[in-house]
Amino acid sequence: MTRPSQSQVQPPARRVLLTEDSPADALLLQSLLGAECVVTCVSTLAEGMAVCSQEQFDIVLLDLFLPDSRGLDTLMQFQTLHSDLPILVMSGLDDEQTAAAAVHEGAQDYLVKGQMDEVLLHRAMRYAIERKSAERALRESEAFYQSLVENLPQYIYRKDMAGRFTFANRRFCTQLGKTPAEVVGHTDLDFFPPELAEKYQADDRRVLAAGKLFETVEEHTPTTGEKEYVQVVKTPVFNAQGRIVGTQGIFWDVTARVRGEERLKKAHSDLARSREDLLRTLVDLQRSHSQIKEAQLQVIEMEKMHTIGQMAAGIAHEVKNPLAVIRMGVDFFSNSPESEAEPTSTIIKDMQDALHRADSIIMGLLDFSAPGKVELRPADLNMLLRSSLNLVRHELKTPHISVQTEFCEHLPAVLVDANKIKQVFVNVLTNAVHAMPEGGTLTVRTYIKKLTPEEAKPSPGARRTHEFRAGERVLVTEFDDTGTGIPEDKLGRVFEPFFTTKETGKGTGLGLTVTRKIVELHEGTIQLQNQPERGARATITLRTERS
């Protein structure tokens, strides 16, 4: 995905709180921070915590040894009142044990005075702010997932490899008459009759052995004496390395459905039942089954995206610091006298290119795991598209691609976050260019249309954060290319994280994932399909300002 250069976007000044009692060290750090930071300097912990309560800061540079506090207690006191602020701990001690303890207590990094320069300090600050943002996003994602699981009408639980419960939602615990603490750590034998518990454990072993989903309808006869039925879906749970670490189960009462099926069978043998009653029962059954299946798939998809989001944030966190060290080494060798000679200069260039690609992947991971917030304002859709075409004009020239625009005039305003939606357009345009390595024609058109009931249905795999209504007027943007198209067996996976049809080294597999996320934040949709003759079409549908 093409990003604006630093000359095009001037980042806002960072607001920095510097807590340092040494005037000489404070003066040196302010010099390293430079004019691009607005620095507030205090000399005691009490002053620092007080000023944070009155003003807003982007980051805190905290000396561990201050007149009114010493050591890690300084960090812990500050964290107690201002846990949402990213903190870079500074100390004159080059002590790995202290550094590890500081990071464990919540600091984003540990810097040794006298061993940092301007580049290292600014990079550490930038990464600290990004890591804190990623942590905040993970907390919000976990809270949302927990709320979803606790409020679904299904009974949900997880077990480890030994069959011990590791999680049970509120509905499941209520059914057992237990609290979550009384369920976790126990097995089926602690709650069910031996014969029934052994059946449940046999099903678990079947899932673990096969490594795939198991689904069944189970029959129970409670004390009332009337049979009840539950639909059970069990799946394996995988860790980040792809190894099975347990099972999870979702089940729900389908007694009404099963009894309806039984009534339907009886109705077929009863000539007195009217055809109208039979049709009505069948429709109700089909609707019920479809709703249950949809709820199940949404839970599984949410779990998948939640896990990928955690992996993305974790990878970004773990990889950035090693990359920073490697980049410092490459910069050092680039400035040495031997860097001009061959093959050294070629090797250094290859290393710089590899670092640039790794940094692009990390930024894509952060985009994917970052919290979704947009600032929506009325905008001219055609003007946004012209601006996006201008941003990719260099790429359009290289393979001799001609551009045709078919813009509908007098379009109503569209309610968007202009920068984020231009990011979407630039990514779609860039993908179209890459699909035409030998050149071709790129057609961009806009128009307004009224949705039919079929067009108002959500796309398969899209998050259902909203729904279009039949008859609603929407703005449509289409991007047609005359390239190679998308293989049919890969068309359904193009929005999956880390999936790409490009050659190795030419794509991160996150561009379209982030693109769809941004479009969905605008309550819009994006679809990809192959053209009947040649090439592919990307269609983006957005609401008008008056929708």
Q: Cα–chain-centroid distance for residue 64?
A: 35
Same domain, 473 and 383: yes
Helices 418-434 and 511-521 pack at an angle, to 10 degrees, of 150
pTM: 0.38
Same domain, 403 and 527: yes
Helices 344-369 and 118-151 pack at an angle, to 10 degrees, of 30
Q: Phi and psi for 371 in degrees, rounded to 5?
A: -65, 140
Look at residue 138 and tell me if it is in a domain.
Answer: no
Look at residue 276 and tell me if it is in a domain.
Answer: yes
> Which residue, chain included where needed, has tokens 């750090």?
29
446 Cβ partners below 8 Å, 6+ apart? 381, 382, 385, 406, 407, 408, 411, 475, 476, 477, 478
CA dist 154 and 230 (Å) reads 10
Look at residue 328 and tell me if it is in a domain.
Answer: no
pLDDT (0 to 100) of residue 315: 62
Mean pLDDT in order along the chain per 10 residues (547 residues): 51 86 87 87 90 89 89 86 86 82 84 84 86 78 66 82 89 86 90 88 89 80 68 87 88 80 75 67 76 58 55 60 70 72 74 69 58 78 91 79 91 89 88 88 93 71 62 91 85 68 56 82 88 89 79
The secondary structure of residue 11, as a DSSP letter, is: P
CA dist 320 and 325 (Å) reads 9
CA dist 221 and 229 (Å) reads 9
pLDDT (0 to 100) of residue 362: 64
CA dist 358 and 319 (Å) reads 9
CA dist 111 and 48 (Å) reads 19
Same domain, 35 and 176: no
CA dist 323 and 337 (Å) reads 24
Look at residue 66 and tell me if it is in a domain.
Answer: yes
CA dist 156 and 302 (Å) reads 14
Same domain, 59 and 197: no
Look at residue 37 and tell me if it is in a domain.
Answer: yes
DSSP letters for 208-244: HHHTS-EEEEEEE--TT---EEEEEEEEEEE-TTS-E
Question: Residue 314 is encoded by which pair of tokens?
Answer: 């974790």
Look at residue 89 and tell me if it is in a domain.
Answer: yes
Look at residue 121 and tell me if it is in a domain.
Answer: no
Q: Phi and psi for 283 in degrees, rounded to 5?
A: -60, -45
CA dist 22 and 90 (Å) reads 12
Q: Return the sign of the alpha-carbon dihedral for residues 232, 303, 314, 501.
A: positive
CA dist 388 and 395 (Å) reads 12
Instruction: Residue 129: count other Cβ atoms within 10 Å of its Cβ.
Output: 17
Same domain, 410 and 526: yes
Same domain, 205 and 264: yes
Same domain, 165 and 245: yes
| Single residue among 283, 301, 319 that ends a domain in this structure | 301
Q: Which residues pair with 476 in a beta bridge?
A: 447, 541
Same domain, 495 and 405: yes
Same domain, 278 and 423: no
Residue from 538, 546, 524 nearest 417 by CA: 524
DSSP letters for 179-204: -HHHHTT--GGGTS-HHHHHHHHHHH
| Single residue among 301, 321, 339 that ends a domain in this structure | 301
| Single residue among 301, 332, 361 that ends a domain in this structure | 301
Range of the domain at 77: 14-116
Contact yes or no for 62/52 (Cβ under 8 A): no
311 to each of 6, 56, 305, 381, how far by Cα in Å?
Answer: 29, 31, 10, 35
Number of domains in the chain: 3
DSSP letters for 126-137: HHHHHHHHHHHH
- CATH number for the domain including 416? 3.30.565.10
Same domain, 55 and 177: no
Contact yes or no for 469/432 (Cβ under 8 A): no
pLDDT (0 to 100) of residue 314: 58
Look at residue 527 and tell me if it is in a domain.
Answer: yes
Same domain, 155 and 29: no
Same domain, 230 and 282: yes
Contact yes or no for 381/475 (Cβ under 8 A): yes
- CATH number for the domain including 111? 3.40.50.2300
